């Protein structure tokens, strides 16, 4: 049966037992309220590793002062069931005080890769992500860790971080999982009213259209951005945060689509900020 633990000490003890038996460890860091997107990460982790740890922690450090930390959906019981039925072995669900003890003042931050896209509109976000993910890597000491391509900038940032800091963890990116009608799965989709849920389809529609443009040979970033922007603007409930084209490894803007390129969008549907993207290798 799956175990749910709340302290760093308990995680270390479990992992130490597995290591003694020579078992490999996969890790899926999450903020909970798990859906099929997370489940696909866990499935990959179960396939590649002898044991799998899932962390469920809504990390206060990666939320800005006006963001949705308080309202972020939580359901540990459902999360535990999903982890168990998918084959994970351990859920780590710490309280903020366990992760950020009194006097906490050390951070992991990054100069590059975080200036564009979500880093621009959420200035403290990636410092919070890098700090918590570093801490979780130090606690779980996994062989492999799994991140969704839905948060493509986060995936690039984490890859860079483990390279720069010589963290002995292999980072594995997994494809975006979508609802049947195209909307990328996200815990934040639960914020949407019926009308907003329908309006939110404009994100995936513009992503599919942009991808087709590039697949059909368009290499001018400005043209792809304009076509996608025009399409999103046809939806009255949508307000664009960004539509951008960047090099996937550096997250720097690129005028010409070449090499591994990330086309990413963030759009408010009402008060809910949603993201989506596609990656092409030209």
Question: Which x/- pattern, by CB under 6 A, does the window 243-282 give for ligand PAF?
Answer: ----------------------------------------
The answer to whether 129 contacts ligand PAF (rule: CB under 6 A) is: yes
Q: Which of residues 53 and 225 has its CB atom nearest to ligand PAF in the complex? A: 53
What is the DSSP code string of 134-158? HHHHHHH--SEEEEEGGGHHHHHHH
Pick the closest to residue 59 from 86, 7, 98 (CA basis): 98
By three-state DSSP, how is residue 61 classified? Answer: helix
Measured CA to CA, the distance from residue 125 to residue 131 in angstroms comes to: 10
Angle at 44 between CA 137 and CA 37, to 5 degrees: 90
The answer to whether 30 contacts ligand PAF (rule: CB under 6 A) is: yes
Cβ(208)–Cβ(184) below 8 Å = no
- Find the binder of ligand PAF among 29, 94, 119, 142 (CB under 6 A): 29
Question: Which x/- pattern, by CB under 6 A, does the window 144-163 give for ligand PAF?
Answer: -------x--x---------
Is residue 6 flagged as an active site residue?
no
- Find the binder of ligand PAF among 132, 177, 246, 264 (CB under 6 A): 132
The answer to whether 31 contacts ligand PAF (rule: CB under 6 A) is: yes
Cβ neighbour number for residue 78 with a 10 Å cutoff: 12
Which residues form the catalytic set? 38
**What residues make contact with ligand PAF under the rule CB under 6 A?**
29-31, 59, 62, 129, 132-133, 151, 154
């Amino acid at each position: 049966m799956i175990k749910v633990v709340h302290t760093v000490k308990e995680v270390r003890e479990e992992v130490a037992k597995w290591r003694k038996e020579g078992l490999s460890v996969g890790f899926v860091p999450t903020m909970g309220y798990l859906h099929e997107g997370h489940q696909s990460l866990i499935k990959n982790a179960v396939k590649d590793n002898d044991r799998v740890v899932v962390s469920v922690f809504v990390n206060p450090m990666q939320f800005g002062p006006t963001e949705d930390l308080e309202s972020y959906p939580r359901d540990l019981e459902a999360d535990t069931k999903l982890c168990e039925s998918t084959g994970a072995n351990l859920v780590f669900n710490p309280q903020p005080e366990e992760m950020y003890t009194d006097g906490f003042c050390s951070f992991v931050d990054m100069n590059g890769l975080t200036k564009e896209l979500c880093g621009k509109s959420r200035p403290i976000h990636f410092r919070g992500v890098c700090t918590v993910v570093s801490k979780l890597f130090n606690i779980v000491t996994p062989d492999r860790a799994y991140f969704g391509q839905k948060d493509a900038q986060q995936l690039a940032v984490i890859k860079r971080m483990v390279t720069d800091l010589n963290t002995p963890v292999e980072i594995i990116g997994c494809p975006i999982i979508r609802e049947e009608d195209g909307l990328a799965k996200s815990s934040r989709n639960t914020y949407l009213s019926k009308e907003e849920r329908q309006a939110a389809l404009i994100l995936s529609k513009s992503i599919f259209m942009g991808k087709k443009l590039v697949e059909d040979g368009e290499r001018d970033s400005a043209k792809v951005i304009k076509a996608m922007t025009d399409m999103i603007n046809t939806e009255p409930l949508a307000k664009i945060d960004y539509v951008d084209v960047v090099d996937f490894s550096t997250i720097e803007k690129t005028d010409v689509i070449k090499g591994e390129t990330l086309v990413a969008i963030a759009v408010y549907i009402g008060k809910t900020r949603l993201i989506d993207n596609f990656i092409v290798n030209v």
